[in-house]
Chains A and B, each alone.
Chain A
Amino acid sequence: EDQVTQSPEALRLQEGESSSLNCSYTVSGLRGLFWYRQDPGKGPEFLFTLYSAGEEKEKERLKATLTKKESFLHITAPKPEDSATYLCAVVTGAGSYQLTFGKGTKLSVIP
């Protein structure tokens, strides 16, 4: 069974304090790894898709990287508006394009 584990569960950062969120996965046949951001009371918002080990993608203060067993979401000099829950999801196997999500990391950036 595919498993996605995110750590830490919660993270508090001071504004400007860079850090990383981790997403480790145990799957058969990874077809893609996705990062989403979810604000309270809203649906997840797509951030990145990574397909192969060594791939990196950036968007503003966020940078996602992928290895054969895990992905990192690096946050550089975060601002309070970066506060949200960050979800990692994988797609594996053939057939339907089903996203299997982790439980998320709740990030709080303190001014």
Chain B
Amino acid sequence: EAGVAQSPRYKIIEKRQSVAFWCNPISGHATLYWYQQILGQGPKLLIQFQNNGVVDDSQLPKDRFSAERLKGVDSTLKIQPAKLEDSAVYLCASSLGIQGTEQYFGPGTRLTVT
């Protein structure tokens, strides 16, 4: 079974630029999550999708972050404009149902904002 795919794996941008990350969840998984993991911290949930609807985006900085999950499959997370404090690893995870007892994580995208 193929795991959660993410791209790119690494990205370096200057502050005020924009960036987008892509995630393809495990086939058949209805729920998709985006997490931000700052160095030395645990992952923090940014947004949760159930199929193509948003379940929870309470911790998403909506003035600069946006996410979509077209057709309920893959998803894109965008940051515009980026700030220095956005430097982190962005992890995508998926689970079979909304009560995702087992969330499967992708390898993440390491973003560096200079």
Q: Which of A32, A46, A103 contacts B104 (CB 8 A)?
A: A46
The answer to whether A101 and B56 touch across the interface, beta carbons within 8 angstroms, is no
Confirm or deny: A58 has a beta carbon within 8 angstroms of a beta carbon on chain B: no
B41: chain A residues at CB < 8 Å are 101, 103
Confirm or deny: B60 has a beta carbon within 8 angstroms of a beta carbon on chain A: no
Chain B window 37-49, contacts with chain A (Cβ cutoff 8 Å), 1 for yes, 0 for no: 0001111110010
Given A95-B56, A96-B48, A97-B100, A43-B107 contact (CB < 8 Å): yes
**Interface of chain B: mostly helix, strand, loop or mixed:** loop
Sorted nearest first, the 10 A-B pairs with minimum C-beta distance are A101-B42, A43-B105, A96-B56, A96-B55, A44-B105, A46-B102, A97-B100, A97-B99, A98-B45, A43-B91
A residues neighboring B (CB under 8 Å): 4, 32, 34, 36, 41-46, 49, 87, 89, 95-104
B residues neighboring A (CB under 8 Å): 4, 31, 40-45, 48, 55-56, 91, 93, 95, 98-108
A42: chain B residues at CB < 8 Å are 107-108
User: CA of A41 to CA of B106 in the docked complex: distance in angstroms?
Assistant: 11
Given A96-B55, A97-B98, A98-B48, A45-B105 contact (CB < 8 Å): yes
B105: chain A residues at CB < 8 Å are 36, 43-45
A46: chain B residues at CB < 8 Å are 102-104
B45: chain A residues at CB < 8 Å are 98-100
Q: Which of A34, A101, A104 contacts B44 (CB 8 A)?
A: A101
Q: Among B41, B43, B108, find the residue whose CB has the most chain A CB atoms closer than 10 A.
A: B43
The answer to whether B48 and A44 touch across the interface, beta carbons within 8 angstroms, is no
Q: Among B42, B43, B91, B98, find the residue whose CB has the most chain A CB atoms closer than 10 A.
A: B42
